Structure 1
Amino acid sequence: MRPTLTHLALHVPDLDACIAFYGEFCGMRVIHQREGKGSRIVWMAEPGKEHAFIFVIMPGGQQRNLASDDYSHFGFAVDSRERVDAIADKAREAGCLVWPPRDEPYPVGYYCGVRDPAGNYLEFSYGQPLGPGAEAMPIP
């Protein structure tokens, strides 16, 4: 069997703030939590993807201070340009918008960038050959 990417584990400075953020902006929900290694460990997933890919978040991390032109990010696909705009508006209101919506040539598409409470960047995109419905799209 080949290796399969199943999760991303992050130490974060404020666990509860990150749980709320990923629920609000990404629609993820807590699917498991436990006390382990002296702290609370939380698993979050998108509904329907609980057995495919999760975030494991734990307290104790350092705040990340990425530059606005640092494109390290977690990528989330959405179903329309309007959804990208709505997320950008919500992030602007919350003070966590990093990259306003913009168009880039295929395969990048239309996207915006948002900062989570730990300082990680998230990209919300439409029009990439990734995510639901992209099976029919060619990857250059």
Structure 2
Amino acid sequence: MPSIAQTPDSPLTPRITKFTNCRLPLNGRLIEQDLWVDSASGKILQDQRAFYEFQLSPDQTVDLGGRILAPGFLDVQINGAKGFDFSVPQATKEEYDAGFRKACLALVRMGVTSFLPSVTSQEAAVYKK
């Protein structure tokens, strides 16, 4: 676990973040447990090992007030959401943008943090719109 130790060229401000008072998904259940993250590597740490074996302590503590802490989903191929189809042109750019925003908000509510919108095959005239 040497990757979590401070090195001379690593940043000195917060490196280990402890999320406390949170619920974590595990085996289909939510458990109350703290979560330690190495912000330089993005890796989740074994908090007991980091503390007792490497004598590390958190540089920053974030109290989540009982909220759920879970990874975000990446959707790498999505045609649309919430009744909006990325492939279907709207009458105006503003209408398209409003539908796109509605889809984005719906995806966030479902735990999607990033997505790659894909378009279905269309006739050439549609692409010009």
Normalised by the length of structure 1, the TM-score is 0.21
* Structure with a larger share of its residues in strand: 1
**Under a length normalisation based on structure 2, what TM-score does the superposition of the two structures give?**
0.22
Larger Rg: 2
